[in-house]
Structures are given as C-alpha cells and as structure tokens.
Amino acid sequence: MKLAEVLEALSLAVDDPEMLDIEVEGGYCSDLLSDVMAKAAAGSIWVTNQAHPNVVAVASLIDAAAVIVAGGVQPEEGTVNKAQELGIPLFSTDLSAFDVVGRLYELGVRGSLRNG
Amino acid sequence: MPDVRDVGALMSVTYDIAARDFVRAGEAANKLKRLLQQLGLDPAVIRRAAIAAYEAEMNIVIHSYGGQIKVDITPESIEIFCEDSGPGIPDIEKALQEGYSTASEEIREMGFGAGMGLPNIQKSADKFRIESAVGRGTCLQVTILHEAGE
Ligand SMILES: Nc1ncnc2c1ncn2[C@@H]1O[C@H](COP(=O)(O)OP(=O)(O)OP(=O)(O)O)[C@@H](O)[C@H]1O
Ligand SMILES: [Mg+2]
C-alpha cells in the first residue's frame, strides 16, 4: 500500500509529494526504542508517542516507511530537522496511538515483525 | 554479492560517541549502516550490525562518559569494538538479563531503559564479548559473520 493512502486515512498532508509513493509494507507500534530496533520489519510504518530525535535515527536504521507521532505530541525541532536530513517521512497527529493503529488496520495494514 | 571479498582488503572505520548527546545519538550506527549498504552486504547482516552498533552506541551515550566504536570489515565478518570510559558494569551477568536496567526515570520516559540493549546485541552477534572495570569503563566486542545461519 502507498503512503498516500495511509496519510489520507489519517487526514495528514505531505510537503514532499515524492513521499506519497513510498510503499508501506506493514506496521509497528511501540515507544521502546530497543524493542522497535529489534523487532520492527523494514518498510513498516511506526506509530509512537516518542518525539525526540533518536526516533528518527531508529526509523532510518530499520528502513521504516514513515513515523507517525501520535497523541498530540509535537516533535521537537531537532527531530524535524533530522527527519529532513535522513529523508524519513515524519508526521504528527492528535489521534491517539490506538486510533491511528485502528485506522491503519481498517485500511488493511498489518503488524510486521522482522524475520529472525 | 559485490562485497569486500572482491576488494580483498580490510576496511576500518572509527566513530567517536559523546555521552548524553541525544541529538546525535544513533548517527554512528546510521553511518555504519550506509557504509555496509554501499558495500552491498546482505540486508539481514546489515540489520544485525545496525542493531549491535545502535545498542552499543546508545549504551555509551546513556551509561558512560563517552567512548568510541571501531568497526573492521573483513572478508569473513563485521567486527565491532566498543570502548568507553565510565562507571563500568559491576555485575555483567545481571546486565545481560533482559529487563535489567539502571536507567533513570528521565531516560526511561524517552523510551530507553527497557533492559533490551545488551540482550539484543547478543542475539545479533555470532560472537560476543564484554569486559568491564568498575570506575573505569566497558569494552564490547561483537562479531557478525557475512554467512551465518540466523
Ligand atoms: N557502556 C556501559 N557503561 C556502563 N553501564 C552499562 C553500559 N552498558 C550497559 N550498562 C549497564 O547494563 C544495563 C543493561 O544494559 P542494556 O543495554 O541491556 O539496557 P538499558 O540500556 O538499560 O536499556 P535499553 O538498552 O533497553 O534502552 C544498563 O542499564 C547499565 O546499568
Ligand atoms: Mg541499552
């Protein structure tokens, strides 16, 4: 599924239209960085309430399709800058993590774990 | 795959890791990952190296006063050597247990301190060695083979 479809379901807009074409292969939801690092599959959309710059470093390391910061948490400036620098699509929403995941699930996005 | 085997050379890179720098934290692991991708290594091997480097880097950022990560890429393996100066680990056996963490409340609120870092490094490694001297620092050596069954 394309990121465009996911963003539409969450009523989110992008600055960079190239991002719309990114393939979302699954999803992962966690606020523990080491847990995401160990378990989330590449191509996942990552839903979290964390909004500090290390989130972007982890998203880049796991080849996340995008990061959704949920619960009305505003990403720090350092986070936004790092996302631009590393080319990670980063969005924030007032929806709770529960509601974000619910909408994604309704769309057909499923949880995806790394093999091994 | 067109990897270091063809070059026949050993590559070595060193990254300096600053304590408590949460903006730059994770940069070394990301640089290493990009290098391994450029070398055309297997994505599963790259992910395991990324996990080990990231967790080691974060432990230096969070638990030490600063250190270095040196990576040798040989035809057979990726060797990750980490060294820091810091308080060291009094009970290594305990530190290696999943869920054990001495991270502060403030650090836990950032999503660290699950006590998963060292166990994750161990799971990603084909060979793993840790040594620590209380009041001085910690050394970590991780080997990831290019051709290892998970
Ligand atoms: N480089 C280090 N210097 C000093 N102590 C360390 C170092 N690395 C790990 N430790 C100690 O070992 C414990 C376990 O480390 P581990 O990486 O498994 O978990 P954590 O860092 O606490 O949490 P997580 O990695 O899940 O964010 C730490 O809480 C800390 O007490
Ligand atoms: Mg750790």
Q: Give residue A59's pLDDT.
A: 98
Neighbours of A2 (CB within 10 A): 14
What is the pTM assigned to this prediction? 0.95
Determine, yes or no, domain membership for B137. Answer: yes
Q: Ligand 1 in contact with B67 (CB < 6 A)? A: no
Residue B44 is part of a domain; what is its CATH number? 3.30.565.10
Tell which residue, A2, A58, A76, has the closest CA to residue A67. A58
Q: Give residue B147's pLDDT.
A: 86
- Looking at CA atoms only, how far is residue A63 from chain B in angstroms? 9
Question: Are A86 and B30 an interchain contact pair (Cβ–Cβ within 8 Å)?
Answer: yes
A-to-B residue pairs, Cβ atoms closer than 8 angstroms: 75
Tell which residue, B144, B133, B149, has the closest CA to residue B52. B144
Determine, yes or no, domain membership for B150. Answer: no
Domain that holds residue B123: 3-145
Q: Give residue B136's pLDDT.
A: 98
Question: For chain B, how many structural domains are there in total?
Answer: 1
Give A109 Cα–ligand 1 centroid separation in angstroms.
34
Give B4 Cα–ligand 2 centroid separation in angstroms.
30
Q: Ligand 1 in contact with B102 (CB < 6 A)? A: yes
Summarize pLDDT for B103-149 with one digit per residue, the tens. 999 999 999 999 999 999 999 999 999 999 999 999 999 999 998 65
Summarize pLDDT for A16-45 with one digit per residue, the tens. 999 999 999 999 999 999 999 999 999 999
- CATH fold group of domain A3-106: 3.40.1390
User: In this prediction, what percent of chain B has a pLDDT beyond 90?
Assistant: 91
- Sequence spans of domains, chain A: 3-106
Give the H/E segment covering residue B75: none
